[in-house]
Chains A and B, each alone.
Chain A
Amino acid sequence: MEAILSTLSVDRSVLAAEYIGFLRWAAPVLTAMLLLRCIVPLLTFRREPEIWAWLNLATGEQVPITHWENVIGRSKSCDVTIDFPTVSRNHAVLTRYDDGSWTITDVGSKEGTLVNGRKIQICALTSKERISIGGVEMQLQPITQRQEERQAQLRTKAASGWDTVTNLMLLTILQCAMLVGFLMKSQQTDLMSIVQGFGGIILCQWLLYIFYCIIHRKSFEVETMAFFLCTVGMAALFTVKPEETVKQLLAMILGVVIFLIIGWSLRDLERTKVVRYLAVMAGVGFLVVTLLFGTEYYGAKNWLIIGGMSLQPSELSKVCFVFAGASTMDRIMNKRNLILFIVYSVLICGLLALMNDFGTALIFFCAFLVIAYLRSGSVGTVALAITALVFAGVLALKIAPHALQRFATWRHIWEDPLVSGYQQTRALMCIASGGLLGLGPEGGLLQYVFAADSDIVFATISEEWGLLLAVMTVLCIVALGVFPIRTARVARSSFYSIGACTAASVLVIQTILNCLGTLDILPFTGVTFPFVSNGGTSMIGAWGLLAFVKAADTRQNASFAVRLKKEKKERSVSR
């Protein structure tokens, strides 16, 4: 018996080596399969134009209305172009609501908008109402209930249930394979923490999926990718700081809860408008609290220490900023709304200048650019451009001198590999050492370098799991970035489009700064890799942003943005 035991114990290291040899192939192959199955449907689904109503002009012409929010005006970029001298460039906005009702809103036109001969600001519409825009007469004819049902049926279905289960099974197999690798290889005594870390993610993803099944939502691609990124982050974290895996897991669970809450609030735009005010207040609040009670690290005051937990509230402010920036079409045209957003941006800009955090400021600046560009109608363009200039100017004057030090090292890391270029040169050495397939769990040495679990986490993953897998994590973010562009054409409200684009931009920009900074392609800014880097607030913020991306998904049964037909019947049509 003892002999058998002793042979077993000898075999353990041999077995571990054999297993790692298998795992370094298996992990990238499984990942590639998983991501292919997740990304392809996101990027290739058919975008059928939907027709929600017809606009019958007095001339007998019938114009199809293909969105829920439509700008009518003389300008070529309008959804309904009426080339008539008395029609303003952007004259009115035609809006459809979740319950099928319609309104028309005048957006500061010269001649005004008349319904049944009365000048109105906003007015509910039925097919009987006579609309007059700059003297051009027309009538709205919404599609019938039956047409609408037919259209809903024809809409591309999100992945079938079995596809999603297969994806989740693949992810679970990958997670288990990685976990076994750690268990076989690890010399560390607290193996419990890795079991808890990976087990927690597996449990969380299946529970979320079961919850989706209960509410009849089938699409799970975006979430699967996020869980995959969390898994990779957990693997890196266990190598570097095994004692923090449970903390990171809890942050992820909290992130999923926030994801669901934001998703729920985005489902009904009227509800969103209320939540939005709260979010806008919170966005400023987080920054103010950080400024008042925050701790300064490396010249940037963006840490808040509460009861031994270190928080980075600016990560949550990003989510709030997306809320503040996204807007429905009728409001984009509204001057007051525009001024409020500009004031809000200036306020945020001022707070960031006081905090002195270059990375965060850059992300906010890019998010502002995206929002500003997407929103800018003819009126707002100039005002937004000026705000952008102020934003950039403050960044340049206040923060750039700090950042210049990092720029001095940029592309010169090999000239000072022991001091200013230390982290990045070690990162590149270890990426190269890992090759395309990696050295296996616990096989790396980058873990001893500062911020191996956050700022240079890309290199830690690359070293242990291979460059292929590391590049695939970046591709995940790329897919999340391309998705909102594709869905924009069929988006129903500009709120979803702007929200999804801004949120995805923040995710992409963070990835750019984190990964390309580590690799010395761009200056090193110490921004987190969404879902992957160690950091609780960053994790929660990433899930919050993901809710906006998810909300842009209009496929049948896919997401929060589209209410299911069954529920619709229960609602009265009385707006």
Chain B
Amino acid sequence: MNRVTKRTWLMSVFILVLVLGMLIFLVQYLFQADQWVAFSGSPHVYNSSNLGCGTVVDRSGTMLLNLTESRTYSDDALTRQSTLHWLGDRLGYISASAVSHYAGQMAGFDLFNGIYDASGEGGQEVLTISAKVQNTALEALAGRKGTVAVYNYKTGEILCAVTSPTYDPDNVPDIEGDTTGAYDGVYLNRFLQSAYVPGSIFKLVTTAAALESVPDILDQTFQCYGKVEYGTEAVTCETAHGRQNLKQALANSCNCAFAQIAELVGKQNMVKYVSQFQVVVPLSFDGVTTVKGNYDISDTAPVSFAWSCIGQHSDLVNPARYMTFVGAIAGGGSGAEPYIMAQVTNGGEVTYQAKTQSTGQLMSPETAATLHEYMRNNVKSVYGDGNFPGLSVCAKSGTSQLGGEAVSNAMFAGFVENEEYPLAFIVVVENGGYGSHTCVPVISKVLAACKEVLDAA
């Protein structure tokens, strides 16, 4: 009997395996449960591939999406269209990563209670965007493809980030069968997922690089005869601008002057400052990451380098990232990183509160101040202050040539310098033609709407 008795210890091996296994699981639960709950497809949080619980409202409390029973969008058709790309569609073609990113907080997950919600109020996400501004921007785009975005460069709140084309999720058009091209890239959120040839708005980067790296740049002048030749190729302007200083060259958006400035800055410095200004790196916030831009001048001929400083050649920028760069200029060399999720609550309890994050000092305050002054000059002397009643706007336009027969993209980037309206913006109208001509009317309406919203709050 002794022998049998002693050998019963074998049982404790199995018991140990069971107990240890459970302990390992409990440790995993402690550290990973929040990820499990919010993992895509989690039954309590998701509804097919998009978020499936709680409500989403805009900054003024306007209901954008109600997920408590099924997926109910706003009552207003225009709002449904202008906010679709942030909320996601019913079939999962448009994934709403930012909204889904806070699924765990929305569901009110905590390790003790799981997602149990005693209050029955459910979760709520408050976005920084304003449905009113979104609608204004979408209407201003008037069916043209592109994106309009405005954010507060002091706090980081995105007031408006609209993408076009879009559609009404309650009245889905025949996208598959469409042959007109009206719905090309309709599932893309262009603000995040597109990279555009920047054209002349890129001259802000070159100007900043020149201010940082060429000591006597402010004393120099540049002669424009309408053309700078590089062997058989050339950099051209539509008219000869004559002799200009840096400020005038930027206001005239003079290609010939910028070809000369590019030579003063040099390849090495351009690469250095493009990297320092973070113009082409992806931007990440609220679980979304934008596409990266492109600035590649390795093995390029002098003419290509000149074009690269004018925002052509192989240059690409993402609208969200470029808007952040402009925000940094407005903020005296450092701005706020943009974000769209203001607050998440569950059962009346705040489970997430946005915090302002700085881009860090991208350029010296002096450079930023000089650029600020030049961009203000652009509006005063070229685009016209009258377009922005009550606002003091600083900006730069761009007309990015796409090559071949394609009509140029119209670009416009800038900011409002008024203390009470710290807004940076970017407008892209695909195949919109001349930058300022196309974009100024759009941004003029959108900024006016932003002003109203900020005044109301």
The interface of chain A, by Cβ under 8 A from chain B, is: 17, 21, 24, 67-71, 77-79, 329, 366, 369-370, 373-375, 377, 414, 417-418, 425-426, 428-440, 443, 445-446, 448, 467, 471, 474, 477-478, 481-482, 484-485, 488-489, 491, 494, 497-498, 501, 504-505, 508-509, 511-512, 515-516, 519, 521-522
Contacts and interface: CB of A to CB of B under 8 A. Distances in A.
A481 B14 contact: yes
Given A498-B4, A521-B24, A521-B25, A446 B113 contact: no
Contacts of A24: 116
A508 B18 contact: yes
A494 B4 contact: yes
B103 to A, nearest CB: 11
Interface in B180-222: none
B346 to A, nearest CB: 13
A494 B43 contact: no
A436 B111 CA distance: 7
Contacts of A474: 18, 22
Contact of B37 (A17, A78, A79, A432): A432
Given A429-B37, A435-B114, A491 B1 contact: yes
- Of B4, B11, B25, B109, the most chain A CB neighbours within 10 A belong to B4
B115 A435 contact: yes
B3 A521 contact: no
A454 B44 CA distance: 21
Interface string B12-24: 1011011101101
Nearest to B104: A432
B42 A484 contact: no
Contact of B114 (A78, A428, A434, A481): A434
Given A374-B10, A433-B115, A512 B36 contact: no
Contacts of B112: 435-437
Contacts of A428: 36
Given A433-B43, A435-B114, A491 B15 contact: no
Contacts of A377: 3
Contacts of B9: 485
Given A418-B41, A432-B29, A440-B116, 13 more contacts: A67-B1, A77-B6, A329-B4, A374-B4, A426-B41, A426-B43, A435-B113, A436-B111, A443-B116, A467-B26, A478-B19, A491-B4, A508-B11
A414 B38 CA distance: 13
A511 B33 contact: no
Nearest to A77: B3
Contact of A481 (B1, B11, B42): B11
B170 interface: no
27 contacts: A17-B118, A71-B1, A78-B2, A79-B1, A329-B4, A370-B11, A417-B41, A425-B36, A425-B39, A426-B43, A428-B36, A432-B36, A432-B42, A433-B107, A436-B113, A436-B114, A437-B113, A437-B116, A467-B26, A474-B22, A489-B5, A497-B8, A508-B14, A508-B18, A509-B14, A511-B18, A516-B17
Contacts of A418: 41
A414 B22 CA distance: 19
B110 interface: yes
B54 to A, nearest CB: 14
Contacts of A78: 2-3
Given A417-B39, A435-B115, A516-B21, A467 B29 contact: yes
B120 interface: yes
Contacts of B7: 373-374
B385 interface: no
B34 interface: yes
Contacts of A498: 4
Where chain B touches its partner, the secondary structure class is helix
A90 B119 CA distance: 72
A432 B33 contact: yes
A485 B8 contact: yes
B114 A433 contact: yes
Contacts of A467: 26, 29
Contacts of B24: 521
Given A17-B120, A477-B18, A494-B1, A373 B10 contact: yes
Contacts of A374: 4, 7-8, 10
Nearest to B12: A485
A485 B7 CA distance: 9
B41 A79 contact: no
Interface string B40-59: 11111100000000000000
A429 B110 contact: no
Nearest to B116: A439
A478 B20 CA distance: 12
Nearest to B33: A432
A414 B39 contact: yes
Contacts of A505: 10-11, 14
B25 A429 contact: no
Contact of B44 (A433, A436, A440, A516): A433
Cβ-closest 10 pairs across A and B? A435-B114, A445-B43, A432-B33, A429-B42, A67-B1, A432-B36, A516-B21, A488-B8, A433-B44, A432-B37
Contacts of A435: 109-116
Contacts of B43: 426, 429-430, 433, 445-446, 448
A528 to B, nearest CB: 15
B3 A478 contact: no
Name the residue in B17, B44, B113, B118 with the highest tally of chain A Cβ atoms < 10 Å from its Cβ: B44
A96 B113 CA distance: 57
A554 to B, nearest CB: 13
Contact of B21 (A370, A484, A512): A512
A452 to B, nearest CB: 11
Given A17-B120, A433-B44, A488 B21 contact: no
Nearest to A429: B42
A57 B41 CA distance: 76
B166 to A, nearest CB: 29
Interface in B67-123: 107, 109-116, 118, 120
Contact of B18 (A67, A437, A501, A516): A516
Contact of A366 (B5, B14, B40, B111): B14
A417 B42 CA distance: 10
Contacts of A77: 2-3, 6
Nearest to A482: B15
Nearest to A78: B2
B4 to A, nearest CB: 4
A374 B12 CA distance: 13
Given A374-B7, A488-B8, A494-B4, A432 B109 contact: yes
A254 B17 CA distance: 31
Nearest to B119: A17
A431 B36 contact: yes
A471 B22 contact: yes
Interface string B400-413: 00000000000000
A432 B34 contact: yes
Given A435-B110, A491-B5, A521-B24, A478 B44 contact: no
A436 B112 CA distance: 5
B279 to A, nearest CB: 35
Interface in B422-445: none
B1, B9, B14, B18 — most chain A CB neighbours (10 Å): B1
Contacts of B120: 17
A266 to B, nearest CB: 16
B1 A433 contact: no
Nearest to B22: A474
Nearest to A369: B10
Contacts of A69: 1
Given A417-B39, A485-B12, A430 B44 contact: yes
A32 B116 CA distance: 21
B15 to A, nearest CB: 5
Nearest to A516: B21
Contacts of B111: 435-436
Contacts of B29: 431-432, 467
A471 B26 CA distance: 9
